[in-house]
Amino acid sequence: MFRIYEENSYDLTDKIEFFANGKKVSVRECYTSVYPINARWPGRQRHESQRQINYFASLEGDEELDCIIKLPFEIKSVRLKPYEKSEEPCFKDRELSFKIKNNGGYVVLINDYRFAIHIFYNKIGNYSDQNYENVLYFGKGEHDVGILNLESNQTVFIDEGAVVYGCIHVRDCENINIIGKGTLDNSKNKERILYEMPYTFGDRAFNNAERDFTIRLEFCKNINISGIIIKDSLAYNLATYGCDKVEIDGINIIGCWRYNTDGVCLHGSSNVVVKNCFIRSFDDGVYVRGLDDVEGESNSYNVLVDNCVIFNDWNNALHVGVLSGAKEIKNVVFQNCYVLFGASAVFDVTNTDDMEIHDIKFDNISVEFEKDNPIPLIQKEHPFVIPNVDETKTHKPKPFAFLNMLHHEYTKSGTNLGKIFNVEFKNIRFYAPTDVYGSSIIGDEKEKIKNVYFKNIFWNGNKISDLNGLNIEIINSENIVIE
């Protein structure tokens, strides 16, 4: 069986018709970036001229779907992602058809990467039969909450057809649930200007404004976030700081186009599971770091990211390290994931402080690159003018990127270097329009990167058998092995 989520009054469009097994599915609008241009916080938000309208639909079920999409323009080409879970769509004139066999997040790219329809085919879930206490319930319709601050033992239930405009912030609490089938939308919150200044673009972030993350959890324990759609974030979509025992299951993140709209951001948190999620972010997709902009010191360990779909419009898809006041990041596993679009790097492990990053594993991950990947840029002036792009050139994101270095802003420990060791990549499959893209493992003379293992790495179906075939630059690193 399958069922379609009820329509609500928010962002409905009649420009696209979508049918699944003969039933009409509601299609909603969302924003994506016109061009991948980001910046360290420059004092003001990214201008609305840099966004464009795309679309998404949400439904749930446990059966195979026969899908038909009718469009108001001629279809010239179609790509259905993830590639490994999909069959080639059929199209003629203004109509296309395809099958969806399994639950998960899918993206239909029509004519080029700029026009996308995102489909969230969720598992059947029933929250109403759970014995939640102290419930903040949001039913069908629109609700303005601004900043919703929770206390221990509270549940936020955003029901089907509900759109909650605002953010959810929690600090020093336990036993928190944020659940449902509705939408948490951060489009109405704006940055608070603390003092006036012109747009200033540089290599440091400015602090003249406060921006509210859509979900922010600080020093909390026993957290469950499941089922909801997070839309139009002002900055980070979902961030944890110094948290323990967190489960994030089946959420869908969409509408990211503003500066620094990272997906799932885990800072100094332990015993975390992120699974069955779709994340289209405009900065890192999923990352694991220590604490950076919150007081205190905390390590990150025992993190599992499983069966997630990442569409990364800017920066890194799966990332460990960089900002950290921690001493250690360890026991982190990314597995059974699909990376649908490459920006800067797919797998990034970077250390800019004196912490130790070790025992990191990436297993059974499919990565897709596009022939029309745009080159991600850093904005250096306002207004930004989209550059003339040579469409005959293929931007080549790095499949693997390692770096151990001091940084003028991120390093908190003075001159002490950290370590990166014991990192494993296994069963990684890349699909790309050209031969193997270049990667890098760059350590420091004083602290070399050590013990990086590659096993069963495939490029367009061909197994890579040696480091030369991997096309990887290795500097100040040792025991880099491919089987």
Same domain for 149 and 13? no
Tell me if 127 is assigned to some domain.
no
CATH number at residue 29: 2.60.350.10
The predicted-structure confidence for 9-67, as pLDDT tens digits, reads as follows 344 467 899 999 999 999 999 999 988 999 989 988 998 889 999 999 999 999 999 99
Containing domain of residue 189, as a range?
Answer: 135-482
- Among residues 66, 97, 122, the one where a domain terminates is 122
Task: Give the integer Cα–Cα distance in Å for 150 and 140.
Answer: 21
Same domain for 296 and 205? yes
Tell me if 79 is assigned to some domain.
yes
Least confident of 43-47, 239-243, 471-475: 43-47
Same domain for 145 and 85? no
Assess contact for 360 and 335: CB atoms under 8 A.
no
DSSP states of 175-204:
EEEEEESSEEE-SS---EESS------SSS
The predicted-structure confidence for 383-418, as pLDDT tens digits, reads as follows 887 777 665 567 899 999 999 988 877 777 777 889
Beta strands 462-463 and 449-459, pairing class? antiparallel
Number of structural domains found in the chain: 2
DSSP states of 439-460:
EEEE--SSS-EEEEEEEEEEET
Task: Give the integer Cα–Cα distance in Å for 183 and 358.
Answer: 37
- Among residues 88, 122, 156, the one where a domain terminates is 122
Tell me if 130 is assigned to some domain.
no
Same domain for 244 and 103? no
User: Of the candidates 338, 216, 305, 205, which has an alpha carbon nearest to the alpha carbon of residue 260?
Assistant: 205
Tell me if 367 is assigned to some domain.
yes
Q: Is 40 exposed, middle or buried (0-12, 13-18, 19+ CB in 10 A)?
A: middle
Same domain for 80 and 38? yes
CA angle 17, 19, 23 (to 5 degrees): 125
Same domain for 107 and 191? no
Same domain for 286 and 188? yes
Same domain for 204 and 58? no
Find where tokens 């948190």 sit: 269
Tell me if 431 is assigned to some domain.
yes
Same domain for 456 and 341? yes
The residue count of the chain comes to 483
Same domain for 472 and 414? yes
Confidence band, pLDDT 50/70/90 cuts, at residue 146: very high
Tell me if 128 is assigned to some domain.
no
Residue 406 vs residues 69, 79, 185, 352, 409: alpha-carbon distances, Å: 50, 41, 37, 5, 9
The predicted-structure confidence for 287-345, as pLDDT tens digits, reads as follows 999 886 555 557 899 999 999 999 999 999 999 998 767 889 999 999 999 999 888 99
The backbone region for 11, taken as left when phi is positive above 0, alpha when psi lies in -120 to 50, beta otherwise, is: left
Same domain for 291 and 428? yes
Tell me if 129 is assigned to some domain.
no
Dihedrals phi, psi of 480, to nearest 5 degrees: -100, 115
DSSP states of 235-274:
S-SEEEES-EEEEEES-EEE---STTB-SEEEES-EEEEE
Q: Which two tokens stand for residue 149?
A: 């601050």
What distance lies between CA 355 and its chain's CA centroid? 24
CATH number at residue 291: 2.160.20.10
What pLDDT is stored for residue 242 in this prediction? Answer: 93
Same domain for 274 and 412? yes
